[in-house]
Amino acid sequence: MERNTAALARSLIGAQSEEQVTRIIESHPVLRDPGKWRPYGGPEKAGTFQNQQQNAVAALTDKVINSIDALLLRECRARGIDPAGRDAPTTMQAAVEEFFGVRGADFSEVSQRRRRELAEDIQVIVEGSRQRPSILVVDRGEGQCPRAFPDTFLSLEKGNKVRIPFVQGKYNMGGTGALAFCGRQKYQLILSSRCPSLPDGGDRRWGVTLVRRHFAGKGDRVSWYEYCVGPDGEVMSFEADGLPIPPAGRTLAWGSLVKLYDYDLEDRSVATLGLWRELNRNLHFPGLPLLIHETRDFRGHSPSKVVLGNKVRIVVDDRDKIESAFPPILPIIMNLGAFGKRTVEVTAFREGTRADEFSSYRDAVFFTINGQTHATLSRSFLENKAKLGYVARSLLVHVDCTDIDTNVREDIFMASRDRMRSNEAWREIQEILARELREHEALKALNHARREQQMQRSADEQRFINEVVSRLIRSNRSLTAYLGLGGRVPGGVDPTTPGDVPIETFEGKRFPTFLRIYRFNGLGSSVFQKRVPVNSYAFLKLETDACNDYLSREAEAGEFRVEPDLAASVRLWNGMITVRLAPPEGATPGEAQHIVAELTRPYDPPLRAQCEVIFAPPGERQNGGRPSVERPPRGAGYRIPEPTLVYRTPRDGSKTWADMDPPWTGEDVAKVVPVEDEIDIYINMDANVLHRFVRAHRLTTRKVDMALHWYKVSIYLYSLLLHHDLAAIELQDQFSEIIKSVAKLILDLIYGQALQPEQDGDAEAD
């Protein structure tokens, strides 16, 4: 029987598709017997399988996380340490440092050779077809003996790891999320053997089982999952010195192998490119590296590649992609609502960097626990909330949530590890994060520079603004209110083409030599005073000569702190430390608080500066306090939002579909990009709706020109109106879809007004 089981295991490892697995089941005397399949949780647990990750790579990442846990547990048990005991490491980083000798689990200081050696213990192998590949996740971790399968691989919600502090797995869902992406039959192969060096590693048998979907029959409300057992009702097993794994000629001596058949990857390109990038995003700072193997028939690609996570990529391997004058990681220290004090890490990439190299439109702000991404925010957040539309595609923002309070984690993070609950605490976190990003001097400067570089307009676009829009709005004063405009509409806009705006470089010192409070006028008493409204905040600025990466670099970094801690946020840029001071709970007007700011140095005493904080009445305004909204004086002008025309292919230096983020197609119509208190409007001049209208009505050349003219005017004005109204209810994300619907009617509505009369001999006019 064991010989037959070993042959079955090898045939299932070699199967390249679910069709081949189905044939194996139909020809095998045990697997084809319905009585040899046991419920994997049963119908009552169907929701556990279904309520998992929305994305195939996020689900696959959970398999990798299980492998990382298995390696850490192997090393822990091999040393005779109880993983749940008091001698065990208390964090994943501490475990990696103790068991693998990597300080702080930071692989940026480990040689490439050593990284690859460690990565050999966890492998993701892609084989089969290009469209629906099969994926193996293989590790040399602790492994499990066959009798342990029901309580480990095949258990649900038992909390096997809940008392082990240094592993990621807590919910005991067995990586069930990946099953939903496995073809139609949902086949998953599991093989495992206990590591022989462990105290209980005497049982060298391999356990093997196959998981599949049990389709709902007549009268069943849901389908469920089931796994196969042997003739004796137990998990099948066999003895072997090792198992063959791809690429050909390789074996697995112990550990675990999970194979997912016909896996539905969204990016079906070469695994060492597309999947590699996505795993680096989902494992921003993994406890251990892993190795990807591509075995399919792609040509001209690397057959294997190490996954280290985006953080190590940024710090070590891709520093040349960082925006000049920026450190690899720009830290912003902030009190992030329910998450408490966090150091948010921001990386700005050069303009030529691939938009999806480190982030994507869907995933641009990463919230991680133990290095694994648990939730993200899209670039729309950076564009609309942080108002950094021109650098959104070049930013990666990381928030490490590893040490947040357990109750807070459960209140905000979903067990699926790919999204947050939309509650008050989560909304407050987004508001604070957007504000701090929006107000950062470096990000504002870079956003402005990128905008100026892109706002090079043709004569036609300038004429459109000067002659058409300004005149139209001036002739109908009520439009200014509807469109969210204020002040006097100018007769035109300065048509000069802006040049390249460089980002100011700052040559700070590796170790600072001074820290002093910045005074706007250089005057004042010997003890500086800062007034802070009891219901608001105020900014305290301190001068220093520390370089921009002083608070974030990996080696010999400093720390800035305020005692008592009234700092709601701290940022260092170009010799200026900006501190947002917030009053403590219960502060009363007139109360004074003496504070000391301290900047530590690795080899010298810390630098200090002090001031006196006076808590002021609610609403008080003063230099450095909460900025009030500046309204233009009566009669003052403002700059009308500028439209940029976008074409499918380049036209006299114009923007193209490929320049947009995400890239446009013919279905797109317009986009609005907020920039501080202004907006920019992009209009697709090769939109399908426009071309379909021209073809349907067989317009003359003159009428085509008129249609283009009125299309621009209408889309521009509707974009202003929609953005103004959607921003008021914080639904800017809906703009693109709504303007698509509006565009379907615009040209037909104006056809009878402006285009059709020519047929009756009427003159056309602007």
Residue 42: pLDDT over 90: no
- Mean pLDDT over each residue of the chain, to the nearest integer: 86
pLDDT of the residue at 751: 65
Q: What is the pLDDT of residues 492-501, one digit of tens each?
A: 444 344 444 4
Task: Select, from the ranges 442-451, 632-641, 649-658, the one with the highest average predicted confidence (pLDDT).
Answer: 442-451
DSSP 111-166: -HHHHHHHHTTEEEEEEE-SSSEEEEEEE-SS---GGGGGGTTT--S--TTTT-TT
Q: Name which CATH class applies to 318-451.
A: alpha beta
Residue, of 523 and 331, whose pLDDT is higher: 331
The SS3 call for residue 4 is helix
| pLDDT score at 495 | 39
Domain 515-616: give its CATH superfamily.
Answer: Immunoglobulins (2.60.40.10)
The single-letter code of the amino acid at 9 is: A
Least confident piece of the model among 27-41, 160-174, 233-247, 639-653: 160-174
User: Where do the domains of the chain lie?
Assistant: 2-307, 318-451, 470-491+641-760, 515-616
Please determine, for residue 634, whether its predicted confidence score (pLDDT) is greater than 50: no
pLDDT value of residue 752: 57
Specify the length of the chain in residues: 766
Q: Tell me, what DSSP letter sits at residue 376?
A: E
What is the spatial distance between Cα 550 and Cα 557, in angstroms, rounded to a whole number? 5
Q: Which residue has the higher pLDDT, 612 or 468?
A: 612
Q: Using DSSP, state whether 744 is helix, strand or coil.
A: helix
pLDDT tens digits along 307-339: 999 999 998 888 889 998 899 999 999 999 999
- What pLDDT sits at residue 155? 80
pLDDT, tens digit (0-9, with 9 covering 90-100), for 265-296: 999 999 999 999 999 999 999 999 999 999 99
Does the structure show a pLDDT above 90 at 533?
yes
pLDDT for position 492: 41
As a whole number of angstroms, the distance between CA 387 and CA 674 comes to 5
**Does residue 627 register a pLDDT over 70?**
no
Distance CA 183, CA 189 (A): 13
pLDDT for position 212: 95
Please report, rounded to a whole number, the percentage of residues in the chain having pLDDT higher than 90.
62
Maximum mean pLDDT: which of 153-157, 506-510, 696-700: 506-510
CB neighbour burial string for 600-624, b if at least 16 within 10 angstroms, e if fewer:
bbeeeebbebebebebbeeebeeeb
Give the per-residue pLDDT at 275: 97
Using pLDDT thresholds of 50, 70 and 90, give the confidence band for residue 525.
Answer: very low
Summarised one tens digit per residue, pLDDT across range 345-384 is 999 999 889 888 999 999 999 999 999 999 999 999 999 9
The dihedral through the CA atoms of 267, 270, 274, 280 has a sign that is: positive
How far apart are alpha carbons 669 and 660 in whole angstroms? 12
Contact 79, 87 (CB under 8 A): no
User: How far is 308 from 329, CA to CA, in rounded Å?
Assistant: 16
**What is the predicted pLDDT for the residue at 647?**
93
pLDDT(478) > 90:
no
Question: The whole model's pTM is what?
Answer: 0.85
The DSSP string of 14-64 is H--SHHHHHHHHHH-TTTT-GGGEEESS-GGGHHHHHSS-SSHHHHHHHHH
Which tens digits make up the pLDDT trace of 547-587? 999 998 878 999 999 999 999 999 999 999 999 999 999 99
In angstroms, rounded to a whole number, what is the distance separating the alpha carbons of residues 572 and 622? 23
| Residue labelled with tokens 């920019």 | 680
Question: Rounded distance, CA 726 to CA 43, Å?
Answer: 43
- Residue 687 or residue 747, greater confidence: 687
pLDDT the model gives residue 654:
78
Q: Quick check: 32 pLDDT over 70?
A: yes
H helix or E strand, kind and range, residue 702: helix 701-728
Sign, CA dihedral 142-148-149-152, equals negative
Q: What six digits make up the tokens of 752?
A: 């009878």
Q: What is the mean pLDDT of residues 40-63?
A: 72
Burial class (CB in 10 A: 0-12, 13-18, 19+), 312: buried
Across-strand partners of 40? none
Closest by CA to 323, choosing from 305, 350, 344, is 350
371-381 per-position pLDDT tens digit: 999 999 999 99
Q: What is the DSSP string of 432-491?
A: HHHHHHHH-HHHHHHHHHHHHHH----HHHHHIIIIIIHHHHHH-THHHHHTT--SBPPS
In one-letter notation, the amino acid at residue 386 is A
What percent of the chain is predicted at pLDDT more than 70? 84
Distance CA 631, CA 493 (A): 20
Contact 544, 577 (CB under 8 A): yes
pLDDT of residue 352: 84
Provide the pLDDT confidence category of residue 764 given band limits of 50, 70 and 90: very low
- Taking Cα atoms as reference points, which of 204, 420, 355, 371 lies closest to residue 658? 355
At 571, is the secondary structure helix, strand, or coil? strand
As a whole number, mean pLDDT of residues 41-50 equals 56
Token output for 202 = 């005497």
Residues 191, 133 contacting (CB under 8 angstroms): no
Q: What are the residues whose beta carbons fall under 8 Å from the beta carbon of 496, sequence distance 6 or more? A: none
SS3 390: coil
For residue 253, the number of C-alpha atoms closer than 13 Å in the C-beta half-sphere is 6
Asked if residue 632 has pLDDT above 90, the reply is: no
CB 16 within 8 A of CB 128: yes
Mean pLDDT of 153-177: 72
For residues 235 and 208, is the Cβ–Cβ distance under 8 A? yes
271: tokens are: 């695994």
